């Protein structure tokens, strides 16, 4: 059976959504990053980058959330354009990579510098907050003219979107973020109503992850800070 290494962060949750949409049987393998389980040698054999998500299906191992989405969708021939050289395939790859290289990293850094980084952080927070807003504004504008990210077809791009869109108010530090991004909220609400999304969200309740961001958790989550200690 497919093993799915995960926690409740945005990137694993988008893979959880696809697994549920596909109806694939899988064994959830929780990795508590605040306890340092991502650095266990056994897990590093699965993902040498010590991050979730990852999957192991027989003799196939895939890590990185967007790689997993594309791999599973292509294998099952669902939620993805299949014509390799078609225009819709090109659009799918463009938006999927936009989320992978733009939405995810800038949203993640906005979260880090807003909620976790020590002072002084004004310059860094200003940069990542600006870029997070800029990227989400592009998505919002795109969705003002498209029902889904690929027009009329629900796809893995929407699932990648969903993983991070659930966090927009936290990412941007604004309770009223949806006022500025109504089209993102419209698609988010539609995906949230899908039974597969509700099952994916319920996956978080099957294992208790450490909630406290204490000194131990900070050492595991932000190992780079050890270099600053003199």
State pLDDT tens for residues 207-229. Answer: 899 999 999 999 999 999 888 88
In the chain, % of residues over pLDDT 90: 93
Same structural domain, 118 and 184: yes
CA distance 65 to 51: 10
Number of structural domains, the chain?
2
CB–CB of 46/54 below 8 Å? yes
Is residue 66 domain-shared with residue 103, that is, in the same domain?
Answer: no
Task: Looking at the structure, tell me whether residues 163 and 115 fall in a common domain.
Answer: yes
Same domain, 91 and 74: no
2-6 β-sheet, strand order = 26-30, 2-6, 54-57, 60-63
One domain for residues 38 and 112? no
Report the mean per-residue pLDDT for the chain: 96
Q: Is 89 exposed, middle or buried (0-12, 13-18, 19+ CB in 10 A)?
A: middle
230 has a pLDDT exceeding 80: no
| CATH (domain of 69) | 3.40.30.10
Residues 158 and 185 in one domain: yes
The DSSP bridge partners found for residue 50 are: none
Enclosing domain of residue 209 = 2-78+200-228
Mean pLDDT of 30-59: 97
In this structure, the answer to whether residues 7 and 28 fall within a common structural domain is yes
DSSP reduced 3-state for 173: coil
Q: Which long-range contacts (CB under 8 A, 24 or more apart) does 47-55 make?
A: 47/5, 51/11, 52/5, 52/6, 52/7, 52/9, 52/11, 52/12, 53/4, 53/5, 53/6, 53/11, 53/12, 53/15, 54/5, 55/2, 55/3, 55/4, 55/5, 55/15, 55/26
- Which pLDDT tens digit goes with each residue over 138-175? 999 999 999 999 999 999 999 999 999 999 999 999 99
The answer to whether 200 and 20 have CB atoms below 8 angstroms apart is yes
46 and 19 within one domain: yes
Residue 10 and residue 69 in one domain? yes
| Whether 72 and 93 share a structural domain | no
Asked if 34 and 74 sit in the same domain, the reply is: yes
Which CATH number is 110's domain given? Answer: 1.20.1050.10
- Which residues does 64 contact at the CB level (< 8 Å), separation at least 6? 100
Question: What is the percent of the chain with per-residue pLDDT over 70, rounded to a whole number?
Answer: 100
Q: 27 φ, ψ to 5°?
A: -105, 115
Q: Are residues 188 and 207 located together in one domain of the fold?
A: no
Average pLDDT over residues 122-142: 98
**Alpha-helical segments (H) within the chain:** 10-22, 41-44, 65-76, 87-98, 104-115, 122-143, 156-165, 168-172, 177-180, 182-192, 195-202, 215-221
Per-residue pLDDT tens over the stretch 52-105: 999 999 999 999 999 999 999 999 999 999 888 899 999 999 999 999 999 999
């Amino acid at each position: 059976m497919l093993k799915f290494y995960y926690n409740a962060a945005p990137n694993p949750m988008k893979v959880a959504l696809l697994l549920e949409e596909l109806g694939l049987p899988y064994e959830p393998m929780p990795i508590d990053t605040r306890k340092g389980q991502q650095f266990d040698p056994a897990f590093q054999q699965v993902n040498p980058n010590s991050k979730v998500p990852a999957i192991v299906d027989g003799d196939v191992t895939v890590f990185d959330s967007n790689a997993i989405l594309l791999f599973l969708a292509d294998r099952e021939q669902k939620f993805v354009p299949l014509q390799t050289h078609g225009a819709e395939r090109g659009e799918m790859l463009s938006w999927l990579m936009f989320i992978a290289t733009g939405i995810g990293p800038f949203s993640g850094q906005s979260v880090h510098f807003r909620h976790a980084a020590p002072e002084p952080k004004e310059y860094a927070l200003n940069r990542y907050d600006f870029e997070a807003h800029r990227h989400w504004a592009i998505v919002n504008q795109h969705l003002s003219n498209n029902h889904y990210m690929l027009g009329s077809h629900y796809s893995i791009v929407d699932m990648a979107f969903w993983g991070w869109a659930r966090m927009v108010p936290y990412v941007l530090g604004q309770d009223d973020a949806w006022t500025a991004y109504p089209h993102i909220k419209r698609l988010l609400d539609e995906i949230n109503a899908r039974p597969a999304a509700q099952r994916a969200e319920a996956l978080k309740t099957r294992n208790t992850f450490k909630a406290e961001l204490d000194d131990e958790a900070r050492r595991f989550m932000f190992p780079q800070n050890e270099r600053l200690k003199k």
